[in-house]
């Protein structure tokens, strides 16, 4: 089959056909997919962390079907029940007394929303981002993203560390280095609008921030009047066992929370939807016409997200997600693999780093694919396991066995 798409993706040489429901417990989503030849795989990619319930959870399908028959599109100027319900559910789960949300379609779009919000709310021009950060691929988001291969071709239109108030400027700090962030606040007095941080860097290789780092960022932003923004596109929506990874890493002390949090991926259970949630007083700076999206917050996507959140609650999926990393560590301790340098992350967001000079992860992912397990890679050394939240020891053992066999080949 000829690939008529832009040549932007590495080719995994696999045509995925459908989810497989043969061995799925009634009332659950599937963790397996098959290719066109009928070969079945355990899916630990999940659309890169988009499938917290697995494929085709019956309640998620029923909610989408019902909404599809009722109303699928409505301009943002009209209220719809699913959108207001979702904004309410998000408010219930966010750490502030008053939360306002912009509902969009995809991750990078809500990174952009957070940038506009911070720039408008503060009237400042500098945004701090970190080494290895990934925040998306539209121009504002890519300016925050660290990987030079993604960013460099566009650098002329991004504005990096340049004292020009007409453009947004991005100042970068080493990950985990509070002193470097403090130095940036001194270098750009009253100019830093936002510090944007992934509580767990996903694309970089699954690195969780220390509590001390996140708490220190909170203190610096408060001291200097900057917005503290948490990109929870990958780490949020329950993946670490709390709705926000921030809660997992820092706790729920109201004084230690970010000001803006943005979500995508798992929040829709596989349906494209994203949300930028902010403290009410910050969101008030986004006046009429300052932002919008044709499809953002459409009733269909909101119904899918509502069903996802409801199933997470009903089935205790956050607790199940939380148990995954400890379960994998136990399996690995019983059956150690010397080439594995580290297993890290939190809950159902797991990175397995392979030791060695070369960049073994891509070849390893291909070998695991041949053995019937799909994983994605992040960095040259790390494979990433993003299973549905209800996956347990059986699936984690399958991942581990495939990894060990793949390393032996």
Ligand X SMILES: Cc1ncc(COP(=O)(O)O)c(C=O)c1O
Strand ranges inside 61-201, DSSP E:
99-104, 126-130, 169-173, 192-197, 200-201
Q: Is 351 in the site for ligand X (CB under 6 A)?
A: no
Among 134, 175, 207, 213, binds ligand X (CB under 6 A): 134
**What tokens appear for 203 in the block?**
């694309």
Map the footprint of ligand X across residues 217-236, applying CB under 6 A: 231, 233-234
Q: Is 95 in the site for ligand X (CB under 6 A)?
A: no
Q: Is 239 in the site for ligand X (CB under 6 A)?
A: no
Strand ranges inside 70-197, DSSP E:
99-104, 126-130, 169-173, 192-197
Binding mask 264-303 for ligand X (x = CB under 6 A): x---------------------------------------
Angle at 135 between CA 167 and CA 143, to 5 degrees: 25
**Among the listed residues 334, 341, 308, 351, the one whose alpha carbon sits nearest the alpha carbon of residue 397:** 334
Task: Report the residue number, 226 or 264, with the smaller CB distance to ligand X.
Answer: 264
Q: Is 107 in the site for ligand X (CB under 6 A)?
A: yes
Q: Is 398 in the site for ligand X (CB under 6 A)?
A: no
Beta bridge partners of 329: none
CA dihedral 377, 159, 185, 115 (to 10 degrees): -70
Q: Is 115 in the site for ligand X (CB under 6 A)?
A: no
Q: Write down the least CB distance from residue 336 to ligand X, Å.
A: 30
Q: Is 43 in the site for ligand X (CB under 6 A)?
A: no
Q: Is 324 in the site for ligand X (CB under 6 A)?
A: no
Q: Write down the least CB distance from residue 9 to ligand X, Å.
A: 12
Residues near 291 by beta carbon (within 8 Å), at least 6 away in sequence: 102, 113, 116
HSE, CB side, 13 Å, CA atoms: give it for residue 312.
28
Q: Is 112 in the site for ligand X (CB under 6 A)?
A: no
Q: Is 108 in the site for ligand X (CB under 6 A)?
A: yes
Among 59, 100, 135, 151, binds ligand X (CB under 6 A): 135
Task: Report the residue number, 136 or 241, with the smaller CB distance to ligand X.
Answer: 136
Q: Write down the least CB distance from residue 351 to ligand X, Å.
A: 13
Residues near 385 by beta carbon (within 8 Å), at least 6 away in sequence: 44, 328, 348, 350, 351, 352, 375, 396, 399
Q: Is 125 in the site for ligand X (CB under 6 A)?
A: no
Among 43, 89, 112, 198, binds ligand X (CB under 6 A): 198
Strand ranges inside 6-120, DSSP E:
16-20, 32-35, 40-43, 99-104
d(CA 130, CA 14): 34
**Among the listed residues 340, 334, 324, 339, the one whose alpha carbon sits nearest the alpha carbon of residue 390:** 324
Q: Write down the least CB distance from residue 198 to ligand X, Å.
A: 5
Residues in contact with ligand X by CB under 6 A are: 48, 106-108, 111, 134-136, 198, 202-203, 231, 233-234, 264
């Amino acid at each position: 089959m000829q690939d008529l798409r832009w040549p932007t993706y590495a080719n995994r040489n696999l045509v995925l056909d459908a989810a497989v429901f043969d061995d799925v417990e009634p009332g659950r989503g599937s963790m397996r997919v098959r290719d066109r030849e009928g070969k079945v795989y355990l899916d630990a990619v999940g659309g890169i962390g988009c499938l917290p319930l697995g494929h085709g959870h019956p309640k998620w399908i029923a909610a989408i079907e019902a909404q599809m028959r009722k109303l699928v599109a409505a301009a943002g100027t009209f209220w719809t029940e699913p959108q207001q319900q979702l904004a309410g559910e998000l408010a219930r789960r966010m750490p502030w007394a008053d939360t306002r949300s912009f509902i969009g379609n995809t991750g990078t779009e809500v990174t952009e929303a957070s940038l506009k919000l911070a720039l408008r709310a503060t009237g400042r021009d500098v945004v701090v981002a970190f080494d290895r950060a990934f925040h998306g691929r539209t121009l504002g988001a890519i300016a925050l993203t660290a990987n030079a291969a993604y960013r460099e071709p566009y650098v002329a239109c991004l504005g990096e560390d340049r004292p020009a108030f007409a453009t947004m400027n991005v100042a970068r700090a080493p990950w985990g280095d509070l002193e470097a962030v403090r130095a940036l606040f001194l270098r750009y007095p009253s100019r830093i609008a936002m510090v944007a941080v992934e509580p767990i860097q996903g694309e970089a290789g699954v690195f969780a921030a220390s509590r001390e780092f996140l708490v220190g960022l909170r203190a610096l932003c408060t001291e200097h009047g900057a917005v503290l923004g948490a990109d929870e596109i990958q780490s949020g929506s329950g993946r670490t066992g709390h709705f926000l990874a921030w809660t997992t890493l820092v706790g729920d002390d109201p004084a230690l929370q970010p000001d803006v949090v943005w979500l995508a991926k798992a929040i829709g259970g596989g349906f494209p939807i994203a949300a930028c949630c902010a403290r009410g007083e910050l969101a008030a700076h986004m006046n009429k016409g300052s932002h919008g999206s044709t499809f953002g917050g459409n009733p269909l996507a909101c119904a899918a997200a509502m069903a996802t959140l409801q199933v997470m609650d009903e089935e205790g999926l956050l607790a199940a997600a939380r148990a995954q990393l400890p379960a994998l560590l136990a399996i690995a301790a019983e059956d150690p693999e010397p080439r594995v340098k580290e297993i890290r992350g939190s809950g159902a967001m797991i990175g397995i780093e392979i030791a060695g000079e070369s960049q073994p992860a891509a070849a390893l992912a291909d070998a695991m694919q041949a053995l019937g397990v799909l994983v994605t890679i992040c960095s040259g050394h790390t494979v990433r396991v993003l299973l549905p939240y209800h996956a347990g020891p059986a699936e984690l053992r399958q991942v581990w066995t495939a990894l060990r066999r793949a390393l032996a080949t």
